Structure 1
Amino acid sequence: MTLATGSRNERFKLGKALRRETPREAHADLKGSLSRDAVAILAESDRNRVPELVPERYARMSLNPFAFLRGAAAIMATDLAGQPRAGIPVQAGGDSHLMNFGAFVTPENNILFDVNDFDETLPGVDFTVDLKRLAASVAVAALGSGASKRQARALAAATVRAYRLHMAALAKLSPLEVWHSRIDLEQEINRIGNGGLRRRLAGVIAKARGEGLSNDDNFPHLVSGGDPKIVDKPPTIFHLDPKADAKHKLGVERVLATYRKGLNPDRLRLLNRFTMKGIAFKAVGVGSVGTFCCIALFLTGDNEPLILQIKQALPSVLERLGGNLAYKAPQGHRVVQGQQMMQAASDIFLGSTRDEDSGREFYVRTLKNHRLGSISEISEGEALSDYARLCGRTLARAHARSGDPAAIAGYSGKSEVLDDAIASFAMAYAEQTILDHAALVKAKPPAKSAKAAKAA
């Protein structure tokens, strides 16, 4: 019998038996040599990015330790390669820090809270990898907001506890019930103790159902009139130069043709009701800055808009964990499959494609509404505790779809041993992140040139 077969009770016992090979207490220490050059690891991916935007990436990461952590998924994956693992694989998000969770409106008009970034997703990864990154991000965020080390550690432990308890609840469900489980944001509000956070989440829901995109500063605005188009908003949104070389442009027609071929007929029928009217570059996130990312504007005959994001997919940083984790299929497929595996309700236009001229691989999705996707921006101060626990429960739900919730529950146990161990790891990694951030600031990466600043 393997972890994937047998009764729920048998799989729980198998998970519990794994503690003999890797005791839960073993996760407490930050093991291995950390003499690696964090700045050099960051620089390894520079060659795959738009050169003019690389300085912008470093500028964003230099702001503070939490911003550094957001962009340092490759560094943490390198460090996690030397850490103990429980031995229970899942589809990992790969970059499960606090800012990579958000809210989404489903076609049924439900508002769900879920994982929302899958650039680094990879199958067959130990569940503790994502859990440690989430806990570390909580510790770094807490320290950055002025919390004491004791408070930061308690928040990290509470996050793991929320994951562990929700996984235990999911372990009692049938596979179909697990698959259809979701984190309904309106129901979650009732579990949040912080009044300010409750009010803000209620505001998110109200705006999602009312105002839509009209006041979203992150969402691209359109020039109205007879020929609507995307409005440039340097340094985040700007139109591509049609005379640029292959590294700085996109073979739009062929890229979209390949994308269309992979869509299900019902999705394609819907997309065909729109006509593409323009495309622009859009810099996104922190770690993704400099990867090739565009937004394409589609309109109906009545000028009703649809905006698709065409985002470059590079190999997952989780391949740094070693073993047999190298992904052989196109990277766009990896992202699409990971999102469909982990999210309760994936984007109907999710797909992948490739630009033959540049060799870049992409995934395509509907451009997210910033108003819904960045609830984590309010997760400061006393609200952080409620928000972090919400993220912990959400990660458990995402892992339970691909992994074995009974085995994970068996390994995690009913006591706070795992909570305490990963909280200790999180604090150690927070201290390391502060040092790595200082090293980046000291290294003084090249600043943006005037030309790059204008183009970016």
Structure 2
Amino acid sequence: MTTPVDRARLGKAARSRVPRSAHAHWLPSVDRADPVAVLERQGRDRLPELLPIRYGRMVASPFAFLRGAAAVMAADLASRPHTGLTVQLAGDAHLLNFGLYACPERGLLFDLNDFDETFAGPFEWDVKRLAASVAVAGRENGHGEAKVRRAVLETGAAYRTTMRRLAGLGELAVWNERIDAASLAPLLRSAHDRGHAGSSLTRVRRRTRLQALGKLTEVVDGRRRIVHDPPLLEPAGVPDMASLRKIFSDYRSTLTEERRLLLDRYRFVDAARKVVGVGSVGLRCFIVLLAGRDTDDPLLLQIKEARTSVLEDHLPSGPFVHHGHRVVAGQRLLQATGDIFLGWLNGPQGRAFYWRQLRDMKGGADIAGMDPEDLLAHARLCGTALARAHARSGDRIAIAAYLGGADTFERAVTDFASHYADQTTTDHTTLSAAIAAGVVTAEPGV
């Protein structure tokens, strides 16, 4: 059995492959792929009528571009040497993919909340994507460069110190680690931060399935139906409705026995196609309305297409053939506790899908409205949550030893984030020019 001393030695040995200071470097290679071409390749098998919405959302700002350009950044990260210290990556760990959600015991947790791109890879790729998103968001909010760099530095510092703390704990203690509402206050340094977190908690607690029922459904001729709001929310056609009814019954087989029993107490009422996110626009996504005891006892589930992770072209193949299974397994591994209705299945034409609850006390941060202190506090929480997730799946002792006790790693990542924020602005301009030239079509504001 490998001892903690041996594992720490492996982590320190990784410094000879990639010194911590080397993470500062970013310079696009001469053969770097055109970012618009990367996005167009991603769109080839998506719903073509929705792609203009995707480009319209991405061109709104550099941060919106970064959100939708996980494939672009994955290729960029892969062009640099990496540590070889492998974890289950979230794959798209930008600021808006962290947030609050209700655990099965109805407490609120802060954690990662998007796993479409999850895959096994070098831990620093998630850290760099998170750091770059902090830099882009801070600049977009008009924060001075010194304040932006401080927020990025704190992100890396939170990751490093959390990983080092978890390296000293036992396996069950690490597995049971979580950031719940009660533990948020000690992680925030000022009364201002705690006040902001308190108002966020109040808003999220109000976002129940009953609130969603009132917002997303209406009663027509005495029957509850999903509201139609084209092109973002449209009724499922007859073929889609028939398929959804069939795969709903198939999906239950991926749940544990007690959860199948719970699901069987709901009946299928209605379904609609929904446009979600930025980078996900064009993927096949539906919401399904179920009723339990009566029509005022709703359950809203989301079924979303799972495609190849943007990381897969750059890393060794993983254990999952089914991409819905990959997403579900990654979420279960990375989140402190997961959605009880999380499952996967094959859909029409052999496409992979996964299921989850649509909304149940879930909420993300309003990044655009954050002042420098709010952004710093949120970024610090994200760095802490990311380290907790990585510690469950990777060798936390080796990673902690690689990171060390000094701030060398986070200073290097802060430099990288600054350079990559410049790159994101350039790529955003490239997309804007492609739209203006008619290379791609965008539908802004949708």
Place the TM-score, normalised by the shorter chain, in its bin: over 0.9
Residue 378 of structure 1: CA displacement?
Answer: 6.5
**1: CA distance between counterparts of 2:352 and 2:172?**
33
Match of 2:259 among 251, 260, 267: 267
Structure 1 runs of 4+ aligned residues shifted over 6 Å read none
**1: CA distance between counterparts of 2:101 and 2:39?**
31
Residue 296 of structure 1: CA displacement?
Answer: 0.4
Report what 1:96 is aligned to. 93
Residues 1:108 and 2:100 are matched in the alignment: no
Range with greater deviation from structure 2 (15-24 or 86-95):
15-24
Match of 1:447 among 424, 442, 446: 442
Output the TM-score relative to the length of structure 2.
Answer: 0.93
Residue 168 of structure 1: CA displacement?
Answer: 0.5
Counterpart amino acid of residue 20 in structure 1: S
Residues 1:49 and 2:49 are matched in the alignment: no
Report what 1:380 is aligned to. 370
**1: CA distance between counterparts of 2:140 and 2:368?**
14
Contact 2:209-2:298 within 8 A present in 1 as well: no
**2: CA distance between counterparts of 1:217 and 1:65?**
34
Deviation string 1:10-53 (CA, Å, 9 cap, x unpaired) is 31222112112211111110155064200000000112211110
Residues 1:201 and 2:197 are matched in the alignment: yes
Counterpart amino acid of residue 252 in structure 1: L
Pairing 1:317-332 to 2, within 5 Å after superposition: 317-322=310-315, 324-325=316-317, 328-332=320-324
**1: CA distance between counterparts of 2:214 and 2:405?**
43
Residues 1:306 and 2:290 are matched in the alignment: no
Report what 2:248 is aligned to. 256
Contact 2:241-2:271 within 8 A present in 1 as well: no
Pairing 1:10-29 to 2, within 5 Å after superposition: 10-29=6-25
**2: CA distance between counterparts of 1:209 and 1:46?**
36
Output the TM-score relative to the length of structure 1.
Answer: 0.91
Structure 1: which 5+ runs fail to align? none
Counterpart amino acid of residue 253 in structure 2: K
Deviation string 1:127-179 (CA, Å, 9 cap, x unpaired) is 00101100010011111111223322222121011000000000011111101
Q: Could you say if the C-alpha distance between residues 165 and 293 of structure 1 is closer, same or farther in structure 2, counting changes exceeding 3 Å?
A: same
Match of 2:82 among 74, 81, 85: 85
Residues 1:164 and 2:146 are matched in the alignment: no
Contact 2:344-2:354 within 8 A present in 1 as well: yes
Range with greater deviation from structure 2 (26-35 or 83-92):
26-35
Deviation string 1:106-143 (CA, Å, 9 cap, x unpaired) is 122221100000000012x0000101100010011111
SS in 2 for 1:278: strand
**1: CA distance between counterparts of 2:150 and 2:204?**
33
Residue 214 of structure 1: CA displacement?
Answer: 5.1
SS in 1 for 2:238: coil
Residues 1:395 and 2:386 are matched in the alignment: yes
**1: CA distance between counterparts of 2:399 and 2:352?**
34
SS in 2 for 1:280: strand
Residue 224 of structure 1: CA displacement?
Answer: 7.5
Report what 1:349 is aligned to. 341
Contact 1:16-1:410 within 8 A present in 2 as well: yes
Residue 195 of structure 1: CA displacement?
Answer: 4.4
**1: CA distance between counterparts of 2:82 and 2:214?**
38
Counterpart amino acid of residue 302 in structure 2: Q
Residue 301 of structure 1: CA displacement?
Answer: 3.8
Deviation string 1:284-319 (CA, Å, 9 cap, x unpaired) is 110001100000000024211001100000000001
Report what 1:411 is aligned to. 402
Q: Could you say if the C-alpha distance between residues 219 and 309 of structure 1 is closer, same or farther in structure 2, counting changes exceeding 3 Å?
A: farther
SS in 1 for 2:345: strand
Counterpart amino acid of residue 427 in structure 1: S
Contact 1:194-1:386 within 8 A present in 2 as well: no
**2: CA distance between counterparts of 1:144 and 1:428?**
15
Contact 2:8-2:397 within 8 A present in 1 as well: yes
Structure 2: which 5+ runs fail to align? none
Match of 2:280 among 282, 288, 291: 288
Contact 2:328-2:354 within 8 A present in 1 as well: yes
Residue 237 of structure 1: CA displacement?
Answer: 1.6
**1: CA distance between counterparts of 2:126 and 2:144?**
24
Counterpart amino acid of residue 313 in structure 1: A
Counterpart amino acid of residue 62 in structure 1: V
Contact 2:209-2:359 within 8 A present in 1 as well: no
SS in 1 for 2:111: strand
SS in 1 for 2:304: strand
Pairing 1:206-285 to 2, within 5 Å after superposition: 206-209=202-205, 212-213=208-209, 215=211, 220-223=216-219, 226-242=222-238, 251-285=243-277
Counterpart amino acid of residue 95 in structure 2: L
Counterpart amino acid of residue 405 in structure 1: R
Deviation string 1:231-285 (CA, Å, 9 cap, x unpaired) is 1233422212326xxxx77711332222122221111100000001010011111
Q: Could you say if the C-alpha distance between residues 224 and 346 of structure 1 is closer, same or farther in structure 2, counting changes exceeding 3 Å?
A: farther
Residue 326 of structure 1: CA displacement?
Answer: 5.5
SS in 2 for 1:117: coil
User: Share of identical aligned residues, percent?
Assistant: 42
